[in-house]
Structure 1
Amino acid sequence: MAECIVSTETLLAEATRAFREEFGGEPEIAVAAPGRVNLIGEHTDYNDGFVMPMALPLVTVIVGRKIGGEFSTAITLNKDADLPRKITIEMPNENALVRTIEHSGPKWGLYVKGVIANYIGPAPPAFQAVIHSSVPTGGGLSSSAALEVSTYTFLDSLTGYTNTNSNQKALACQKAEHQYAGMPCGIMDQFISVMGKQGNALLIDCRNLSAELIPLDDPEIVVLITNSNVKHELTGSEYSTRRKHCQEAALILKKVSLRDANESDIDYLKSIDANDTLIKRARHVITEIERTAIGAVALKEKDYNKFGQLMNASHNSLRDDYDVSCPELDQLVELALQIDGVLGSRMTGGGFGGCTVTLVHANVVDQVIDNIKKKYTGNPVFYICKPSDGEEFYDHPKINVQLDMHRLFIF
């Protein structure tokens, strides 16, 4: 039933072939950075809370080489990317105190430009590059962070600069998304794309930017990602509105952020007749931060039943209190939970479409997929995943070497 159709090796080979056709030579550098799925801890990152993502075998790759001159050329092979799919970038002057790059062109190019503008190392030289990806656009699996981190890793390879630590790199990519894509995202996506490790989720404290690897390597347990194929656009007003609601609730409670609040503060908001919407938003964030902390302990103890219960509670909270789910996501969760052996299921990502994430015993995952395919009203796509590594780079001639990659299944 399953067909292995996408791997990092395949992406690199296709990108290399496109590079030869476009630029008439061989790329000298190849890099990759993964998308992510958030197991629990949704809309808590910009509230200084805890999140627990894992890196995916879905990745964005970039192959390219350094060239002379002041202008770089980048091409994307992503068919979902907005046009044009080829851009020219005037590189910043290496002596400039502040790097400024024009905010124009297709959205995918803005992510690339934003990373160049916020690169911490020496001014990057001009380059030619081809970008390719298996991370679905608009699916809630952080195609944007995969592009940002792969771009940053590519610039590191171009410059040879090695003095930037993982936190700095992730923060620079986050700043690029804020400035150039207009998305006020938290730090989770960039952190996991940089720091992911095979066989582990990553518990991130978004207040102090510390991270702890949480083992998730039981061979009998898999993570099923189901893409609803309902697209969403987080740069719209909904994301910013919810962030504003959280800030307003924290201000009323005289807290730096909702990380400092607890369930008694929810009772206080009720007692002063605060806006019902603010109460619901605060309740989700406060309880979700608690669920994530408890979930980390459950995974360490291999208590997958407990973790699944927390996932279910997370989805209900996102649906009822944070109001970021949609009928398609709710249906996918309901259909997954109909099968014995499913431990938990929830929407993942910003919401309003995208994907669900389901923790399930490996021996029943096909039953889950069959049930959804028979009953779901849309056209879902399924990924069976294990936690994977973060950013990687390969110097020529390793581009053509067989890579030890995780298998990615799509149905």
Structure 2
Amino acid sequence: MSASQQTLQELIEKGQQAFRNTFGYEAEVASFAPGRVNLIGEHIDYNDGFALPMALSMGTVVMGARNKSQSTADIITFSEKIDGTNRIQFDVKALEPSNPAISNCRWANYVKGVIYHFNHNVPGFNAVIVSNVPMGAGVSSSAALEVSTLLFIEALSTKRIASNDERAKICVRAEHTFAGTPCGIMDQMISLNATANHALLIDFRSLESWQIPFMSKSLAILICNSNVRHKLSDGEYGKRREQCSKALELMGLKSFRDVQPEHLSVLYKANDQVLINRTKHVIEEIQRTMDAAEALKNGDFKKMGELMKQSHTSLRDLYEVSCEELDALVDVANSCPGVLGSRMTGGGFGGSTVTLLETQCVDTVISNIKKMYKEKYNREADCFVVLPSAGARIIKL
């Protein structure tokens, strides 16, 4: 059984056994945080836009208990495809932001960053981490780890953070300062606030959010992991943020939500096609996301599918964050009967696609995708059907 097929209960049992075998006593505290897939609203969470993600049933469990030390953390991960060692020890009271470029254990930076920005006393502890969120697949394994770590140390220290908004901000600061990724706040927000059978419409200017019913027995959500991550992605995320900031500066604005036609004329006069394209994507993706939320509310899944197709075209042509493999996965999905719409999801340059399709067509679509991908790229595409699931929580052992 692959990690992505394991149920939450199986993850818990695996964690309990691993903790017992490693540390010789029973775990007392456990937390779970899900990964996510973004249905629409890509690369606009850091641009005051909207996004419409949903949580997955797949997630990350952090499980452990205090140890006899005052401040030593001893953590072992059983997650697949990690970078560096699978076990780390460090002093929770002596953490400083590190350079992720020279870190030989990237996963540990997320854990350390959360503890550092928790900004309250954390006792020495032992812990194990188990997860069935595919790493590097664009379904937010990093946010699942951050959020689960935060809930775990909250329970361990008995210090409670005031709100999920503040929890999300702590996790984002951890990713910025310890992992070196200038991410937005979407992944952490959906991991913390998700409700089963709902997507979450998030306004990133106000951090307001609305639960959008998303349930149909006749429809399914299919994620296809390309299992590629191009080196081109290194630094490209930050470059897109810089380009968006430059566009706003040229227009004399602080938010893309305030863009009017006369503002766009400034970019055309500057004759900077890259900034024009980036701006067009952000503005149009904001509108598409709001339209998608309305479509789900009204049960207009055909409209939702069309908006997903438009989103991918924009990400490919205007924002330029797709890649050949993602385009191929989207194209073959959209060519299959029963598919309403498909698009890349996540940061891009690899990772996964998300497809809305009729349940009765799932097996045929997966077969077609796998056959094409193997023949064209001589690699496997991992496909799994997901449902909108509940958010992060403490697990009673």
TM-score (structure 2 length as normaliser)? 0.94
> Counterparts of 2:334 and 2:341 in 1: how far apart (Å)?
7
- Residue by residue over 1:343-370, the C-alpha shift from the partner in whole angstroms, topping out at 9 and shown as x without a partner, is 1100000000000000111111111111
- Residues 238-257 of structure 1: pairs in structure 2 closer than 5 A: 238-257=236-255
Q: Is 1:58 paired with 2:58?
A: yes
- Residues 176-191 of structure 1: pairs in structure 2 closer than 5 A: 176-191=174-189
Q: Is 1:5 paired with 2:5?
A: yes
Residues 343 and 102 of structure 1: CA distance in aligned 2, closer, same or farther (over 3 Å): closer
Whether contact under 8 Å (1:29, 1:157) holds in the other structure is yes
What one-letter code is carried by the residue in structure 1 that aligns with 2:111?
Answer: V
> Counterparts of 2:84 and 2:380 in 1: how far apart (Å)?
25
Displacement, 1:202? Answer: 0.4
Q: Is 1:146 paired with 2:147?
A: no
Which residue does the alignment assign to 1:17?
Answer: 17
* Match for residue 283 of structure 1 among 265, 280, 290: 280
Which stretches in structure 2 are left out of the alignment for 5+ residues? none
Q: What is the Cα-based RMSD across aligned positions, in Å?
A: 1.9
* Match for residue 224 of structure 1 among 214, 222, 232: 222
> Counterparts of 1:233 and 1:159 in 2: how far apart (Å)?
40
Instruction: Provide the identity percentage.
Output: 45
Displacement, 1:265? Answer: 3.9
Q: Is 1:110 paired with 2:109?
A: yes
* Match for residue 368 of structure 1 among 365, 368, 372: 365
| 1:230 counterpart SS class | strand
Which residue does the alignment assign to 2:41?
Answer: 41
> Counterparts of 1:109 and 1:293 in 2: how far apart (Å)?
37
Which residue does the alignment assign to 2:78?
Answer: 77
Displacement, 1:234? Answer: 9.0
> Counterparts of 2:320 and 2:313 in 1: how far apart (Å)?
10
Whether contact under 8 Å (1:92, 1:101) holds in the other structure is no
* Match for residue 234 of structure 2 among 219, 231, 236: 236
- Residue by residue over 1:55-100, the C-alpha shift from the partner in whole angstroms, topping out at 9 and shown as x without a partner, is 001101111001232211011112311121110120217xxxxx74
> Counterparts of 2:6 and 2:216 in 1: how far apart (Å)?
24
* Match for residue 303 of structure 2 among 303, 306, 330: 306
What one-letter code is carried by the residue in structure 2 that aligns with 1:354?
Answer: G
Residues 111 and 4 of structure 1: CA distance in aligned 2, closer, same or farther (over 3 Å): closer
TM-score (structure 1 length as normaliser)? 0.90
What one-letter code is carried by the residue in structure 2 that aligns with 1:367?
Answer: T
What one-letter code is carried by the residue in structure 1 that aligns with 2:320?
Answer: D
Mean CA deviation greater in 214-223 or 256-265: 256-265
Which residue does the alignment assign to 2:292?
Answer: 295
Displacement, 1:393? Answer: 1.2
Residues 23 and 235 of structure 1: CA distance in aligned 2, closer, same or farther (over 3 Å): farther
Which residue does the alignment assign to 2:164?
Answer: 166
- Residue by residue over 1:35-74, the C-alpha shift from the partner in whole angstroms, topping out at 9 and shown as x without a partner, is 1000000000110110111000110111100123221101
Q: Which runs of 4+ in 1 moved over 6 A?
A: none
Residues 317 and 263 of structure 1: CA distance in aligned 2, closer, same or farther (over 3 Å): farther
> Counterparts of 2:361 and 2:395 in 1: how far apart (Å)?
37
* Match for residue 137 of structure 1 among 135, 138, 143: 135
Higher helix share: 2
Which residue does the alignment assign to 2:384?
Answer: 383
Mean CA deviation greater in 6-15 or 203-212: 6-15
